[in-house]
């Protein structure tokens, strides 16, 4: 009953976190990566020592390639750079490779190269937005169907509304944190970022269904008990399971962030934050909101 007893505190905390995250998003914005705006991604490995980032930027400027994002990479005995630029012609691509393969003490090799045109980037952005909308609609329909036989004391469609609100909570907060981090590190939104948000939605809705399903079963078995007491008991019965599953996944993501390739760091970072707030919302936001709605209905 601890969660239900202090429901106003947990609800207020979630609302504050969402508002702060929205402020971060609109203040700092989200930098679109080459997946959505088009451009080139070149990863160079240097044998032995590597040049300073300023030297790499100066070399690009001399070739007429300005405003590049240069990120250091390293591990397993090599040092390199991940270079993100505007869309490059093949001639410009080869000039970069030729420059650093003949730059005296530095010997560069190309590890990977990706080029995406602006039209392809716009198409990916459109599909990403449609994917998010489709997933949210599918979740609403599924929740409404799954809880169609739960009509008292809270109608089934309100379970769906609560789920959507909490899912928005689960993706707004990580996005806001990412906007803040991106402002200082230059991290960009790519398709893996969208994939992380979709994964958060899927895992979070699973947790919420587990909690709601336990509430539904207890409502059926304990019709005479107070609704808030039933919700508190149901949440208590699922809390250990939900936390253990989430910690197991986070236990895989943390090593991926620290020891995985540079291209998957943002994915692991966003997914870890999203799962943390996802489990929080399932236990400390969704359940208190259900009780709050019941109390609001009684006052009408």
Mean pLDDT of 225-233: 82
Among residues 158, 185, 148, which one has the least CA distance to residue 177? 185
**Predicted local distance difference test score (pLDDT) of residue 77:** 59
Q: Which residue has the higher pLDDT, 260 or 151?
A: 260
Architecture of the domain made up of 2-34+119-299: Up-down Bundle (1.20)
Question: What global pTM score does this model have?
Answer: 0.79
**Predicted local distance difference test score (pLDDT) of residue 270:** 93
Q: pLDDT, tens digit, for every residue of 55-83? A: 888 888 888 887 778 888 776 556 788 88
Q: pLDDT, tens digit, for every residue of 200-217? A: 888 888 888 888 888 878
**Same fold for the domain at 2-34+119-299 and the one at 39-116?**
no
**Predicted local distance difference test score (pLDDT) of residue 231:** 84
Mean pLDDT of 210-233: 79
Is there a contact between 83 and 114 (Cβ–Cβ < 8 Å)? no
Topology classification of domain 39-116: Alpha-Beta Plaits (3.30.70)
**Predicted local distance difference test score (pLDDT) of residue 274:** 92
User: How is the chain split into domains, by residue range?
Assistant: 2-34+119-299, 39-116
Is there a contact between 95 and 63 (Cβ–Cβ < 8 Å)? yes
What percent of the chain clears pLDDT 90, i.e. is strictly above it?
13
């Amino acid at each position: 009953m601890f969660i239900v007893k202090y429901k106003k505190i947990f609800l207020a905390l979630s609302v504050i976190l969402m508002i702060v995250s929205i402020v971060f998003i609109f203040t700092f914005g989200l930098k679109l990566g080459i997946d959505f705006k088009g451009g080139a991604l070149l990863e160079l490995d240097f044998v032995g020592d590597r040049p300073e980032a300023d030297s790499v930027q100066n070399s690009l400027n001399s070739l007429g390639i300005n405003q590049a994002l240069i990120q250091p990479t390293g591990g397993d005995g090599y040092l390199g750079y991940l270079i993100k630029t505007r869309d490059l012609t093949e001639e410009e691509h080869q000039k970069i490779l030729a420059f650093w393969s003949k730059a005296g003490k530095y010997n560069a090799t190309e590890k990977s190269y990706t080029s995406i045109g602006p039209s392809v980037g716009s198409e990916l952005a459109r599909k990403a937005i449609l994917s998010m909308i489709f997933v949210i609609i599918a979740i609403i329909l599924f929740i409404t169907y799954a809880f169609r036989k739960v009509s008292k004391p809270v109608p089934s469609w309100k379970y769906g509304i609560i789920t959507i609100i909490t899912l928005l909570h689960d993706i707004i907060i990580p996005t806001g944190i990412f906007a803040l981090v991106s402002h200082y590190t230059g991290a960009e939104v790519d398709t893996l970022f969208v994939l992380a948000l979709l994964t958060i939605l899927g895992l979070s809705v699973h947790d919420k269904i587990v909690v709601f399903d336990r509430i539904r079963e207890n409502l059926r078995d304990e019709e005479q008990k107070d609704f808030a007491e039933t919700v508190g008991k149901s949440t208590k019965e699922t809390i250990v399971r939900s936390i253990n599953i989430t910690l197991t996944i986070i236990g895989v993501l943390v090593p991926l962030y620290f020891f995985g390739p540079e291209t998957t760091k943002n994915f692991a970072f966003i997914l870890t934050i999203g799962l943390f707030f996802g489990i929080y919302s399932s236990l400390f936001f969704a359940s208190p909101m259900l009780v709050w709605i019941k109390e609001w209905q009684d006052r009408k």
